[in-house]
Chain A
Amino acid sequence: MRAHPALILFAAAGLVAAGPRAIRPAVLVLGAIGALAAAAALPYGAHWSYAIGDLPLQLLRVDALSHLFGLIFTLIATIGALYSWHATRAGEHAAILVYAGGALGVVYAGDWVSAFVWWELMAWASLFVVWSGPTPRAGAVGFRYLFVHLVGGALFLIGLAAHLAGGGSSTFGPFAEPGGWPYMLILLAVAINAAIPPFHAWLADAYPEASIPGTVFLSAFTTKTAVYVLIRAFPGNDLLVWAGIVMALYGVVYAVLENDIRRLLAYHIISQVGYMVAGVGIGTPLALGGAAAHAFCHILYKALLLMGAGAVMTATGRRTLTELGGIGGQMPVVVVLYMVGAFSISGVPLFNGFISKSMIITAAGDDGRGLAELLLTLASIGTFLHTGLKLPYFTFFGPSRGVPVMPVPRNMIVAMGVAAACCIGLGLAPGWLYARLAAPVDYHPYTIDHVGGSLQLLLGTALAFWWLLAKLRGEATQSLDMDWLYRRSVPAALRWAVATAAATGRIAQTTARSAVRVATTFAANPLAGVGPVAAGLSDGAPAYDENRYRLPIGVTVFWVVLALWLVALMV
């Protein structure tokens, strides 16, 4: 059977939005499971091909890469649906399902035009997920999110139109001649969605303001769909190596400064996506496989971490490190499950981050990019520092602030348990994932030097954390990021535009009024314009008397005859 998984999610979205409240959680979960089953059952090959005029469209292309991303997107939709069971909301969860469907649409699209349409659907649906956030900031944040994604969508569309008009292939894949301006525009649009600095600030701005389940879904789809497009269409672009390294380190620096637990984790999405972007840039089979594998693993552990942060928020109603502390004893299961995510993202052996992140770092070394290898390892140190040490220490283990802890709904724990089991399962049996990569890789993560090196790195980091513990305490601050530029400049530009329009209007009005005043005066008395001297008078303009000042009729006749004579001469 060939059912596009997105269509199953759309049907579920319709039922969630319009159906009775009682069936909503079941529809959400069953819809996601149905999509997962459909994704797993899709046979490889090109299906659902159509044409509009000369434009070939292909809605369902299944190969190793799209199969892998389809599996993880539907799996995380299922886990997220379980996590949402106790708190499903019609509008928000319908938007979430459409959002997930849009991401799947991009993954399975075989042509650029279809990919773009799904891409935009994903952006708009995710906007409603952001707007469904409970905080007072969600509205304004959503508008900033919209602004950024509208710019990205416009760049994509212009680049795509130019690419097709220039005779470029409509097949969604690598460009025949990379480097032209249509190529660069599409790359820029994808860079915005991948949150490559300086186009990244929308992510840390918006994700922490969505609802608790909303953030879990947001963390999975937008950036990883962008990674998918990068792997599909831009492999081996050298720019991406350095963009990825900057991303990986940028997120780490901001995570040191961050106090809000979900914003801290959001900065680590940027950091982790940096590895994937760098992997795409390196472009060797190991690096590209690493990028896809890391996207797969990252979706699982990042969702687990955000679900853990969401469980803390649900239990305490608090979201900053300065308000939390010492609650681990009251929620031991959440602590254990969170730590599985933390060990996974940190690359601890036996957890899934270890088997995927190391592919990219090893590929950098194998490709003779020693500096890239060292810098990506440095970012990995930062990841363990924040996600594995700082956040859990100051949330669960540090000095208690006497925060009352409410019980966490059981479905949240079950969802976290499923994600944690996947993280450990992949860590223990990486062969399952490696066998599903687009190109076969001969990579063995569990060698003595690799495991030993990783343990050393983690221990060294833990020792420095211990040493610098006092410096790492959360501070009740906000961090200025690139969004400050448009949060200041766009309103300033709008204010300037309004003020300039108003001033132009005022000048035009004054000028017009003066012109009317002069014209009226002159029309009422032409002598006023000539002036008193020309009129041979010394006491100002005389009153206009048409019988006195009108020219004799003979003069007019003279000019008419002269004009006719000149015309006759010319003819």
Chain B
Amino acid sequence: MTAIPSAGGRRGALAQGMTLAWRSLVPLRNEPGRLVQFLLQPIFMVVVFVLMFGAMSGDPEHAARYLMPGVLTQVALISTNTTGMNLAEDIVNGVFDRFRSMPIARSAPLVGRVTADALTTAVTILVALLAGIAAGFRITAAPLDALAGLALLLLFTLALSWVSAWLGLKAKSVASMQGTATAVLLPLTFGSSAFIPPDNLPGVLRWWSSVNPVSHLADAVRALLTGAPVGTHVWITLACAAAVTACFVPLAVRAYTRRIR
């Protein structure tokens, strides 16, 4: 019996994950039409929320300062949808069966998917930010603070993409995954302080917006980009991201290894 180098070894697993991340990104090059989703959607959000809703308020510049960090939060979190949808598609199409029959690390397909989606999310955030700047938004914080704000957003998005992964691995079809993810994401993003301060909301909406973790995220991102005091928002956001990651990475990995048809 010869000792074959273990394909599931640590270095192997990382390389396999990167190969699968490449595989997730290559369709964008094959079919540039797919890029529209990553480019057009953030621009559209900036136009609607910053320019149009901003014009409704008496002070568009002030509105942009409030709304733009909210738009960044919104587009970043909505982009996590793709993680679960693509995983559900891989399962339905039998692509995962092929991976599972191969001598590769069990984690590689998940790591590859999440890595690729983190990259596209980063691009989405950047496009939204550039569109926002074109629309009159100014980063008024120190560069390091602003970077920390974007990093925090990306970190939280990454945590949420594991929830999306878990939903995708549990879903019976791509459409059902999309439905569940939308039902989770819309109340989280719109029902937060991303676009409207909780104080301005009535009854239940106000309560929900004040307990919603995304409100803390949006407030933290806003404070870090505009140089306002961050208060406890950063720590609460980090704690939420850590909790979500700690729960949903094992859940997603288990759903993946147990996914049997």
Partners in one complex: no
Chain B positions within 8 Å of A, measured between CB atoms, are none
